[in-house]
Amino acid sequence: MEIWEQLSRQRVKHIVSSYHLGGDEAVRFDGYLEELLQRYPRPLIELALIETLVDAWLAIPLVRGVSFLIKVHDKLRVWENQPIVSTLTPTQFQQIAGLDPAPVFGSTELPPACSIVGPP
């Protein structure tokens, strides 16, 4: 496995462990997560995890385990057939995930307002 793949997997695992999303079903959760990791790009999984987490914050207690991953998978399926529209900004993603948003959102730097190259 390439180093970038290992780092990408670590980012997903960081989100899962930070919010204890595995719940009491660690073995089933890990198997299902592995299936998602094989099927979808990891940055997309990161976004779906955080988007689902934000949606789930309205429920008490927080949905965890396989039930949580089913919601993540549902979101990923919707994104297969429709444009991906995130309800989060890169800054919000970073605050919630504790991760650099660039792999998920691309460069978050704004282009310069004017050309930095003088006229010819």
The pTM (predicted TM-score) of the whole model is: 0.84
At 29, list the tokens: 């959760």
Contacts of 18 by beta carbon, 8 Å cutoff, 6+ apart: 97, 98
Report the amino acid identity of residue 83: P
Q: Where are the domains of the chain?
A: 3-105
User: For every one of its 120 residues, what pLDDT tens digit does the chain have, with 9 covering 90 and above?
Assistant: 688 778 888 999 999 999 999 988 889 999 999 999 999 999 999 999 999 999 998 888 888 999 999 999 999 999 998 888 888 999 999 999 999 999 998 865 544 444 444 444
